[in-house]
Amino acid sequence: MTEPIVNLVDYHCHLDLYPDCERVFAECSQHGVATLAVTTTPQAFPRNKEMAARFPAVRVALGLHPQLVAERGSEIRIFEQLFPETRFIGEVGLDAGPQYYRSMDQQKQVFERVLQMCKEAGGRILSVHAVRTTRDILAMIEKHLPQDRGRVVLHWFNGTKTEAERAAKLGCYFSVNAQMLTSPKREPIVAGLPLNRILTETDGPFTKAGDRPARPFDTAETVTALANLFQVSNDVMQKQILNNLIKLEAL
């Protein structure tokens, strides 16, 4: 199958959660968007993998979302069975939001197991969710996933400047969406991220582009916003993000 020409990157998108998901899969190749299709449960992975086989711009990640661990933590066994089928892992991580903090011990057990598997296998790339848990996430990465065994992309990073610096030292990348760049609180944090570690994402369909759910090709607007933030041209920013992706996936 011919590889598509890649112009954009969406490194965290829930393609299977769009009502017209097959069309969104196809758009990734049509628009040249290198897309990481994250899954929320291991049971969703096989269908996503089957769909992506037709659309070479899409990589599929095996996930077990922390918000679902309380009800579906036992699916870590399915996760273990499917793990050899992909080098991409996500969405995984920790969530200490009000609805989910009661399951934090179980979340940590699941996330630690995922990190251990990645360490043993090597070469995995993880898209990691961290809500009110950035310090814990970074401590677990430091303890369980050496940089030569895998790489973490912190999805929708909401930590502090100090935590961003620590994450960068641990080899982490950061996937940034448009909503992060419209927040007066978050924009300065994004501006402080190392430019050679930034990727774009949508987290669609959970974010909006105008009055509709964002789609992978909407990362073009995020490129523009990042270019303005870092005071470079769109072309320079677009090339930087593509080079960041190439470097990450070559590790």
pLDDT confidence bin for 72, thresholds 50/70/90: very high
Q: Would you tell me how many other CB atoms lie within 10 Å of the CB of residue 249?
A: 14
- The closest alpha carbon to 53, from 12, 1, 15, belongs to 1
- What pairs with residue 88 in β-bridges? 125
**Mean pLDDT value of segment 6-29:** 97
Determine the structural domain holding residue 213 and report its residue range: 8-250
Q: Helices in 122-181 by DSSP H: which ranges? A: 134-144, 161-169
Establish if 143 belongs to a structural domain.
yes
Using left for φ > 0, alpha for ψ between -120 and 50, and beta otherwise, residue 131 falls in beta
Question: Are the C-beta atoms of residues 200 and 188 closer than 8 Å to each other?
Answer: no
Residues 6+ apart with CB under 8 A from 133: 93, 94, 95, 96
pLDDT confidence bin for 47, thresholds 50/70/90: very high
Establish if 102 belongs to a structural domain.
yes
pTM over 0.85: yes
Establish if 3 belongs to a structural domain.
no
Torsion of CA 67, 172, 49, 31, to 10 degrees: 110
pLDDT confidence bin for 3, thresholds 50/70/90: low
pLDDT confidence bin for 186, thresholds 50/70/90: confident
What DSSP designation does 62 have?
B
Question: Are the C-beta atoms of residues 143 and 152 closer than 8 Å to each other?
Answer: no
Cα(175)–Cα(127) distance, rounded to whole angstroms?
9
Which residue, chain included where needed, has tokens 């089928």?
85
The tally of domains found in the chain comes to: 1
Establish if 1 belongs to a structural domain.
no
Q: What is the CATH number of the domain that holds 104?
A: 3.20.20.140
pLDDT confidence bin for 4, thresholds 50/70/90: low
Residues 6+ apart with CB under 8 A from 162: none
**Mean pLDDT value of segment 54-71:** 97
Cα(84)–Cα(87) distance, rounded to whole angstroms?
8
pLDDT confidence bin for 6, thresholds 50/70/90: confident
Establish if 2 belongs to a structural domain.
no
pLDDT in tens, 191-212: 999 999 999 999 999 999 999 9
Establish if 114 belongs to a structural domain.
yes
